[in-house]
Amino acid sequence: APKVVIIGAGIVGANLADELCSLGWTNTTVVEQGPLDLPGGSTSHAPGLVYQTNPSKTMAKFATYTVSKLESLKDQDGSSCFNQVGGLEVATTEARLQDLKRKQGWAHSWGIEASLISPEECLRLYPLLNREKVLGGMHIPSDGLALAAKAVQLLVKRTREKGVKYIDRTPVTGITRAGGKVTGVVTPNGTISADIVVCCAGFWGVEVSKMAGLTLPLLPLAHQYVKTTPIQALKDRKNPPNSASLPILRHQDQDLYYREHGDFYGIGYYGHKPMPVNAASLGQTPSTVSDKNMPSRLTFTAEDFAPAWKESQELLPVMREAEIADGFNGIFSFTPDGGSLVGESPTLDGFWVAEAVKVTHSAGVARAVAEVLVQGKSQIDLSDCDLSRFEGVQLSSDYVSETSQQNFVEVYDILHPLEPKQSPRNLRVSPFFARQEQLGAMFLEQRGWERPHWYKANEKLVKSLPREWRPQERDAWSSKFYSPIVAVEAWKTRTAVAMYDMTPLRRLEISGPGALDLLQQACTGDVSRPVGTVTYALVLDDNAGLRCDIIVARLEEELFHVGIFNPIVIETLSRSARKQSQQSAGKWASIHEVTAGTSALGLWGPRSHAVVRKLSEDDFSTGGFPHHTVKRVHIAGIPATAVRLSHVGEAGWEIYVNADVGLRLWDAVFDAGQSEGIIAAGRAALNSLRMEKGFRDFGSDFTSEHSPAAAGMEGLVASGKAGYVGSKALALLAGKQPEKRLMTLTIDDGKSVVMGKEPVFQDGKAVGYVTSAAFAYTIGKPVAYAWLPSKLRQGDKVQVEYFGKRVPATIAANVTVQEDWMDDRS
């Protein structure tokens, strides 16, 4: 087995050593700066509340794995590292009560038992609650308390027995490398060689990653935790010391959570101002760490806790007899989007991180990293927490600091899935931005880009919508970040012509003598076809799991324009290119990202041809510019690359020009299009139109957990092609029925628009979940995609659970994406 060095013996590092052992890798050394019996990181003081429910399926699966592992981890007296007291989240506001229904939906979607309970049932489960305050709650029987510090000790013992070495009181001070690959770690006692180094240094991760030349988007923040004096009502429960028998309790309306510690309470608080910490300023970990003296524990600032104490006495009146016995400001990691950071450094092969991981997700993350290292892939899709999901602008220290602090503030807030950040904004704008603002674009932000969702300028057309295109009334939640203008934009795209800003879609130019081989190897399509052709295909992993869809336009023999729907895949392509040129110097391929230097305009709709004809002498006729072809053209005198494809299932082109002439292109097209009824249209209409056409989005609709056939994308695999990544595994899948398939549903009442992630029920049982949803204006009904058992058939009836209500839906005709997916309907 390769030699692995893990930096940090917190709950993540210890679990990783253990998971590697369970997969057969035992040649591992764990280096820890603190003393092994209590290293002094966040794990050493973590109260260990494990709430499994999460909007992210990946995070929820990490949590359920952690629960089952900690339950099975027993010490000599047979007691486990998990106290399954259950979890109770209470609502004290109407908005929270509603939101718990949405949360229960996530639990059902990810296979976690959860029930919404009345105030009386809350009191039955938790008699110390103030009945006056509580409007209801959600109970998760399988939640509970992780005994994190004890788990670390048991994991150390069991992995030591398998050969793992632990070196404590030894800080890693440097990372050594050769030829772009990690070779070891530097310590005051010498260098330890390694083939793979995994940074599990908790909130010190920023410092350790710096040693490897990696900017980690992580901010250490202090979070207050107090312990009360003993309380009679808890004494009466006769818990063993530090133990608990009441459910763990969340009072999110006031940013609070609670657990019992024997006869007193522990209270955690997120309502105070964010308190950023610079890990480098904490100095060396002392050689002996105690409960009160550890680097991750800062002095308690009592004034910040004052509102929490008052609210706690309101919710749990027994606290009125108590005082705060001990408090501290404990440090742990926050990130710009609240997710963990998992993956290999894009610039240093063999340097991995497993960072910003809560105790709740620790064993699950460790399992996934071990699977990736040993088997090449984890069973759980990692794109939600992939280290490479951030763009350059999101790695600046100002951005990380501001957004991570915002994340702390919002950690218990009720957030709409489309809710945009207030700040920082306008980090990346397309060359069309000035015109979009003039047209009253409603911007939402993604990966730093401002993306119009609809344009206020189109509002005047709402009254001219034909009856069958008129939008339906929506409920309050799905009306947020929505406008009836979207119906206009969909209607105009289907009946006239619309222009869409596609600039943020990541685009690459891949060139050189090895470009063709690189792409042939990377994707399922045959990109060796002549210059001028366009291939829509899939990128798979070795196990034939989907990594993304990809558009490859052959501009010259050795020059390809590539549109990529999962930014993480760019790292993979770069790595493959490096490997390819190492194996054969003549086969180099250069990968140049052109997203920021170019602009992309989608010109789609039945009148698109009439518009472009006014602006260009090039042949844009169907005969002269067939589907799936690319041409270099001039439009209004501007040199452009036009690809005959659409993301909405209409005639038209995606037009790329250099950024400096983007605005001129927009103006020329907009002016020439006036007589054809052109409008600018936004992402909301695009989402509705792409769903009508059957187009799937990577991340929400399909991930590496799915095969092409399961996702209905087998039409994008070139028949007879072999030798690409995943082709062998795909051949083994041939003829096998996937257990679940991505299916299309229509909502029976013709108006309830769900948002995604809702569970789907059949015969009272949750059988799957919604991925994305929209109102489909062309057919006048809401549609949703959902992962459902393969045995379900067109016409079968199911129910989507939306805010606790079961909304009847019907399985629609199976849509299979074909290579001609992007063609127009003509």
Any idea which residues carry the catalytic annotation? 223, 257, 549
Q: Which position among 256, 359, 370, 754 is part of the footprint of ligand FAD (CB under 6 A)?
A: 359
Cα–Cα distance, 487 to 490 (Å, whole number): 5
Query: Please, what is the minimum distance in Å from the beta carbon of residue 775 to ligand FAD?
Result: 38
Cα–Cα distance, 356 to 317 (Å, whole number): 35
Name the one range near ligand FAD by CB under 6 A: 88-96, 354-362, 660-668, 735-743. 354-362
Q: Which position among 220, 330, 514, 563 is part of the footprint of ligand FAD (CB under 6 A)?
A: 330
Name the one range near ligand FAD by CB under 6 A: 34-42, 416-424, 585-593, 736-744. 34-42
Query: Please, what is the minimum distance in Å from the beta carbon of residue 50 to ligand FAD?
Result: 6
Q: Which position among 52, 109, 159, 285 is part of the footprint of ligand FAD (CB under 6 A)?
A: 285
- Looking at the Cβ atoms of 316 and 485, the one nearer to ligand FAD is 316
Quick check: 358 binds ligand FAD (CB under 6 A)? yes
Query: Please, what is the minimum distance in Å from the beta carbon of residue 221 to ligand FAD?
Result: 9
Cα–Cα distance, 50 to 696 (Å, whole number): 33
Cα–Cα distance, 821 to 549 (Å, whole number): 12
Name the one range near ligand FAD by CB under 6 A: 356-364, 485-493, 565-573, 751-759. 356-364
Cα–Cα distance, 442 to 459 (Å, whole number): 12
Could you tell me the two tokens for 111? 């296979």
End-to-end, the C-alpha distance of the chain in Å comes to 57
Name the one range near ligand FAD by CB under 6 A: 357-365, 409-417, 509-517, 525-533. 357-365
Nearest to 166 by CA among 156, 151, 152: 156
Nearest to 504 by CA among 338, 659, 690, 694: 659
Quick check: 391 binds ligand FAD (CB under 6 A)? no
Could you tell me the two tokens for 646? 């659409």
Query: Please, what is the minimum distance in Å from the beta carbon of residue 23 to ligand FAD?
Result: 20
Quick check: 258 binds ligand FAD (CB under 6 A)? no
Query: Please, what is the minimum distance in Å from the beta carbon of residue 702 to ligand FAD?
Result: 29
Nearest to 191 by CA among 29, 327, 26, 306: 29
- Looking at the Cβ atoms of 333 and 771, the one nearer to ligand FAD is 333
- Looking at the Cβ atoms of 337 and 445, the one nearer to ligand FAD is 337
Could you give the 3-state DSSP secondary structure of residue 247?
Answer: coil
Residues in the chain: 826
**Interaction pattern, residues 197-226, with ligand FAD; x per rule: CB under 6 A:** ---xxx-x---x--------------x-x-
Using a 10 angstrom Cβ sphere, with 0-12 exposed, 13-18 middle and 19 or more buried, the burial of residue 323 is exposed
Query: Please, what is the minimum distance in Å from the beta carbon of residue 268 to ligand FAD?
Result: 5
Name the one range near ligand FAD by CB under 6 A: 5-13, 479-487, 589-597, 609-617. 5-13
Peptide bond preceding 424: is omega within 30 degrees of 0, i.e. cis?
A: yes
If binding means CB under 6 A, how many residues of this protein chain bind ligand FAD? 38
Query: Please, what is the minimum distance in Å from the beta carbon of residue 137 to ligand FAD?
Result: 18
Nearest to 441 by CA among 458, 425, 419: 458
Q: Which position among 105, 136, 268, 673 is part of the footprint of ligand FAD (CB under 6 A)?
A: 268
Query: Please, what is the minimum distance in Å from the beta carbon of residue 643 to ligand FAD?
Result: 45
How crowded is the C-beta side of 378, counted as CA atoms within 13 Å? 23
Restricting to residues 38-57, name those near ligand FAD by CB under 6 A: 39-43, 46-49
Quick check: 159 binds ligand FAD (CB under 6 A)? no
Quick check: 8 binds ligand FAD (CB under 6 A)? yes
- Looking at the Cβ atoms of 171 and 567, the one nearer to ligand FAD is 171
Query: Please, what is the minimum distance in Å from the beta carbon of residue 49 to ligand FAD?
Result: 3
Name the one range near ligand FAD by CB under 6 A: 33-41, 104-112, 437-445, 792-800. 33-41
Could you give the 3-state DSSP secondary structure of residue 816?
Answer: coil
Q: Which position among 5, 12, 206, 635 is part of the footprint of ligand FAD (CB under 6 A)?
A: 12
- Looking at the Cβ atoms of 41 and 602, the one nearer to ligand FAD is 41
- Looking at the Cβ atoms of 12 and 216, the one nearer to ligand FAD is 12
3-state SS of 525-587 is CCCCCCCCEEEEEEEECCCCCEEEEEEEEEEECCEEEEEECCCHHHHHHHHHHHHHHHHCHHH
Using a 10 angstrom Cβ sphere, with 0-12 exposed, 13-18 middle and 19 or more buried, the burial of residue 240 is exposed
10 Å Cβ neighbour count for 224? 22
Q: Which position among 331, 522, 730, 807 is part of the footprint of ligand FAD (CB under 6 A)?
A: 331
Residues 144, 148, 149: CA angle, nearest 5 degrees: 145
Alpha helices in 126-271 (DSSP H): 148-161, 205-211, 232-235
Q: Which position among 5, 357, 497, 499 is part of the footprint of ligand FAD (CB under 6 A)?
A: 357
Q: Which position among 172, 441, 515, 747 is part of the footprint of ligand FAD (CB under 6 A)?
A: 172
- Looking at the Cβ atoms of 218 and 516, the one nearer to ligand FAD is 218
Q: Which position among 32, 489, 549, 819 is part of the footprint of ligand FAD (CB under 6 A)?
A: 32
Please, are residues 682 and 625 in contact by the beta-carbon 8 Å criterion? no
Task: Return the sign of the alpha-carbon dihedral for residues 642, 645, 646, 650.
Answer: positive
Cα–Cα distance, 486 to 499 (Å, whole number): 14
Please, are residues 766 and 721 in contact by the beta-carbon 8 Å criterion? no
- Chain contacts with ligand FAD (rule: CB under 6 A): 7-13, 31-34, 39-43, 46-49, 171-172, 200-202, 204, 208, 223, 225, 268, 285, 330-332, 357-360
